Amino acid sequence: MLVIWLAREPADRCSLGCGRLLGLAADVLLGTWFGAHACRLVVIAFIVRRFRARLRFFILWQQSLAVGALLLNDRIVILMLRSFSTPTSPDVLFWLPALVGMLLWPLLVIALDDLRQRLRARGAG
């Protein structure tokens, strides 16, 4: 959801601060060491903000590939953060969220675009 907010909303509504606040909230709710989720979500927010214009003009399957690469980068950041505390060796399931996110991206974009159009039609009519 953060990627969609960052890609679709103006910079003054959702920026790196959104990633930091959502990450800190996730740290508190999940009981992870403070700043772990915040760090990875700020990295995601930075990359999406940097390439926002390009991402918006990709067709849907290209967006899916870009989001898959972004989520793969997120998994690498998680692996780096975990390696600071304990040596880790990820299994295949560790990489699965990047693939699932890439495959679900088109469905999420279509559903949210449909919802946005319905809300606009309701507000105008």
| pLDDT at residue 105, rounded to an integer | 93
Rg of the chain over Cα atoms, rounded to whole angstroms, equals 16
Q: CB of 74 within 8 A of CB of 40?
A: yes
Range of the domain at 119: 2-124
Q: Is the pTM of this model over 0.85?
A: no
Q: Measure CA 64 to chain center.
A: 12
| pLDDT at residue 62, rounded to an integer | 95
Question: Helix (H) and strand (E) counts for the chain?
Answer: 6, 0
| pLDDT at residue 66, rounded to an integer | 94
Crossing angle for the helix pair 60-85 and 36-50, to the nearest 10 degrees: 150
Q: Which sign does the torsion angle of CA 97, 102, 103, 105 carry? A: positive
- Residue 17 pLDDT greater than 60, yes or no: yes
Tell me how many domains the chain contains.
1
- Residue 39 pLDDT greater than 60, yes or no: yes
